[in-house]
Chains A and B, each alone.
Chain A
């Protein structure tokens, strides 16, 4: 502090001297300006006199006689002037010529004055600047010098402690609200350390949590965390690679896993662009996790659906409950779809490779390739693929039976999760074939569920999803309508909107 003060004083001294010098220059210039102004005034007077002098032939004047005395005299030759030109040169000239000379001198004086005033302005500005500098350096006035002292170790320690206090709060949060971030879930799966590493910003917290008081410990902790992060990164990368390689043939469970691993990077980045559906309430990660999760979800997000619990095994759904299951699962799928669109890491056999993260041209290629018997077959139309990719609805609209068969096959080969999806598609295809017959199906097969389920389901689900489904009408029909329209391959958002309007219209009717 004392040092700073001294420096300040020194600096101040310099500044003061600079200011004084500037002021001296300014004063000098001002005095010279005054002098020149006087000269110019004299010349003006002389000019006036010269103007009037030749008016008369002679003047009675008092002639100065030495410093004390005057004596009366007469001024003759009024038009005859001897002018000192300078450097001891004299010229005898008429009053008019003298006036010319005076004008010439006046010009010179004027230019001199201009120069001086310019100089004064310049130096006055400099003086102002120096004055500002002075006020700044002396820390008085409106100016505040922003100074930041380099980190005191004590301060750092206190900072760490504060953060330490934060950590315990955030930890339970992670557990309680694991919905918020799928990352969190992942991290939890990998362990608390992974979570720390993933959070990145928490690195410091981790260090402080240990209550490290010394810098070395802190740094050690940071290094550790960094390593962990690197490890995690590598894992992610590996899993991603595996995903790319084994997507076609590998079991759905594996894919699911991969999908889980992938999304934090991909899903986040894709979120803004792809999301058209309202944010789903459920945690996206959980829905992707497994079938059980899905079921739970359904329960949570569609509170009105009771049979979701009652109807237990998915196998049953697969085989028999085409319509009911279909509706049910369809909705689910819808939700999932919206999530999937966001996350893009879905596990549905088809959509899996379709909705893959697009990081390389290979991925793009994959988008438009169907897998038949484990071999990639290019699609006939990009539009088709796109619509299918974008929405389950489009799935339903897909009229190519072969494709569906193909898909179903894949789905069957996959785990139950997949099977449900494929099942849904099955149901949908059936619907498509005979839309009018749809309501009949439940009646014939699942008498108990048919009516109530069909009608009850769509309502609650439809409302939160801002979809469709007038209460009286079967969802399938509605779905169908939407699907047919966007078959050309519009972005996924379009069909939903259409459906919304249509729903409104229908409701009015």
Chain B
């Protein structure tokens, strides 16, 4: 009986660690998005500083591609929107994950107790 519980516990622990990994991944992704957001904000502001006489390039691969200023501005705005959406998505995802991990932690602790009891019983029987 104790062994079964142990197996279960192991599985749960693995799941839990996986979940933790997901959480950390989500966190890092979100952080990256944050930095991108900041960067794009700066770009947008600096593009606002320029006027029509300035040429704007986009580095695609090894080449600089000439872009129209307004187009560039629109692109940056769109990118900002996308990043914001991504951040929100990650936020909700992270919340969900955290809740799940919390539940899992409780489950794990209860399982651990059960396992310990089972072990104690086994010892008593022996």
What is the CA–CA distance of A91 and B45 in the complex, to the nearest angstrom? Answer: 13
How many of A's residues come within 8 Å of B, CB to CB? 17
Cβ contact within 8 Å between B49 and A100 = yes
What is the CA–CA distance of A445 and B42 in the complex, to the nearest angstrom? Answer: 122
Cβ contact within 8 Å between B59 and A91 = no
> Is residue A320 contacting chain B, with contact meaning CB distance below 8 A?
no
Cβ contact within 8 Å between A88 and B45 = no
- Taken residue by residue from 82 to 114, chain A's Cβ proximity to chain B (1 for < 8 Å, 0 otherwise) reads as 110111111111000100110011001000000
- The answer to whether A89 and B50 touch (CB under 8 A), given A82-B57, A108-B42, is no
What is the CA–CA distance of A88 and B72 in the complex, to the nearest angstrom? Answer: 11
Contacts of A93 in B (CB 8 A): 50, 54
Question: What's the interface size class on B, roughly?
Answer: 20 to 34
Contacts of B57 in A (CB 8 A): 82, 89-92
The listed residue (A82, A88, A91, A92) touching B46 by CB distance below 8 A is A91
Considering residues A89, A92, A100, which has the most beta carbons from chain B within 10 angstroms of its beta carbon? A89
Chain B: interface secondary structure? helix
What is the CA–CA distance of A303 and B49 in the complex, to the nearest angstrom? Answer: 111
- The answer to whether A91 and B55 touch (CB under 8 A), given A85-B47, A100-B49, is yes
> Is residue B70 contacting chain A, with contact meaning CB distance below 8 A?
no
> Is residue B97 contacting chain A, with contact meaning CB distance below 8 A?
no
A283 to chain B, nearest CB (A): 76
Cβ contact within 8 Å between A87 and B39 = yes
Cβ contact within 8 Å between A104 and B43 = no
Cβ contact within 8 Å between B58 and A91 = no
Residue of B nearest to A107 (CB): B45
Residue of B nearest to A89 (CB): B43
A225 to chain B, nearest CB (A): 54
A275 to chain B, nearest CB (A): 74
- The answer to whether A101 and B55 touch (CB under 8 A), given A87-B79, A90-B64, is no
Cβ contact within 8 Å between B47 and A89 = yes
- The answer to whether A91 and B60 touch (CB under 8 A), given A104-B42, A108-B42, is no
- The answer to whether A104 and B39 touch (CB under 8 A), given A89-B56, A89-B57, A92-B55, is no
Contacts of B42 in A (CB 8 A): 85-86, 104-105, 108
Cβ contact within 8 Å between B36 and A91 = no
- The answer to whether A91 and B40 touch (CB under 8 A), given A82-B57, A97-B54, is no
Contacts of A108 in B (CB 8 A): 42
> Is residue B76 contacting chain A, with contact meaning CB distance below 8 A?
yes
The listed residue (B36, B46, B58, B72) touching A104 by CB distance below 8 A is B46
- Taken residue by residue from 21 to 49, chain B's Cβ proximity to chain A (1 for < 8 Å, 0 otherwise) reads as 00000000000000010011011011101
Residue of A nearest to B57 (CB): A90
Q: Identify the B interface with A (CB < 8 A).
A: 36, 39-40, 42-43, 45-47, 49-50, 54-60, 64, 72, 76, 79
Q: Would you list 23 pairs from A and B whose C-beta atoms are within 8 A, ordered by A residue? A: A83-B46, A85-B43, A85-B47, A86-B42, A87-B36, A87-B40, A89-B56, A89-B59, A90-B56, A90-B58, A91-B46, A91-B50, A91-B54, A91-B57, A92-B54, A93-B50, A93-B54, A97-B50, A101-B49, A104-B45, A104-B46, A104-B49, A108-B42
Known contacts A85-B47, A91-B47, then 10 further A-B pairs from the complex at CB < 8 Å, ordered by chain A residue: A87-B43, A88-B58, A89-B47, A89-B57, A89-B58, A89-B72, A91-B55, A92-B55, A104-B42, A104-B45
